[in-house]
Structure 1
Amino acid sequence: MSDLYQILQIDRHADGAAIKKAYRRLVKQYHPDRHPDGHEPMARINAAYEVLSDPDRRAAYDRRHAPRRVAVVSRPAANPDLTFELWREQVYVPVLSILEQGIAALSQQIDDLAADPFDDVLMAAFMDYVADCRQQCQRARECFRSRPNPPQSARSAEYLFYALNHFGDGLDELEFFTQNFNEASLHAGAELWRIAQEMCDRAAAAFPQWPPY
């Protein structure tokens, strides 16, 4: 696995601002809209940023990758078919399912709430739904981080990453709505989830046939 600091082209002592600046620069450079072959590099860049932008995960990574003397052990090459199948079963399918189930229920939740947004019972039900989505979002993020995607699924993994980000941002807006009853937040959350669903659809469309024929 490549060194995460090398992927982001930063020093191991870089602070949070430097990490974010490097990430934004690389996104502009390798985004698939500008770089036709940018899907695989973007998958590595996103994965590196996910770790290094989180202080706890960065500290754990640094501990695991501290320089040390180890014996060189020859290991058999990983089976690409098995690696791909494990990623599909343990990451792709559950993450996609969590996101799509949460998004699909939003329309009915909004319709129910529209009867009377100031009704305590209806608002409590909506808040329970949002809280459950928050738990599921955290579960999806942990699942996404649990196993690196194989190279042939880089494009699909990239869209899943974007879907997760939009889903989380939409949740922030929906939670804000439950606190201040600002309909603009409700509409913003719904729009972010519409984009998240679009990213899910793209992830499914980009999912590779494996083994290739």
Structure 2
Amino acid sequence: MSRPLCLLFDCDGTLVDSEPLLATEMATSLTAAGLPFRAEDYMGGFRGARFRHIVAELEAQYGKVDPDHLESLETTMRANLNHRLATDLVPIAGAPEALAALSSFPMGVVSNGPENKVRTSLNTVGLSETFGNSLFSGYTANCWKPDPCLYLHAASIMGFAAEDCIAIDDAIVGVQAALAAGMTVVHLNRFPDAEETPEGAHMITSMYQLPTVIGRLRKERERRVAHA
């Protein structure tokens, strides 16, 4: 009998359509801090990146911001974002259906965002029970994508080796992290005209496709094991 597979999902942009809300709040806060930033900047080049990484990139262009002022703005930004996540958030199209079809697999969420943000997001769209406490935040593990350590941390806590995990992530930083961790990776590429799927990852353009792809990957894995 082949070993079971664990499915590890990114949150923002993969399960929930939070990125437009995040981009808007981030643009407001960063611009107020003297770091010019537009919502489309996030969607264009920073999707999935840690907030402090984005700040560092902007400070390299526009100059340093007082750390206390920045911390206050970040606190306000996250409070405003959590309010919007609790009221305005919707799931990514096809995500609830895909999770229902894959409910026999062990599943976890692996996010660069704070755990309370992940919980708020999943609660709002009715996906909390699907994952229970299997939520893994970069802020809790103290490591962030594209470093593979966050995905490896999640796999370890879930009780799986990296090669027994399939990571599903929409952001390039997440895809890179999971590939570096030695996992099978499904890239939810919702912008195929503008974004290229990294070599080694399996591309889908809609979460409705995910159950079929997972089924195929599981069969391929079982064939490899049988002939090993």
TM-score scaled by structure 1?
Answer: 0.30
User: Based on CA coordinates, which of the two structures has the bigger radius of gyration?
Assistant: 1
Which of structures 1 and 2 has the larger relative contact order (alpha carbons within 8 angstroms, sep 6+)?
A: 2
Higher helix share: 1
TM-score if structure 2 supplies the norm length?
Answer: 0.28
Higher strand share: 2
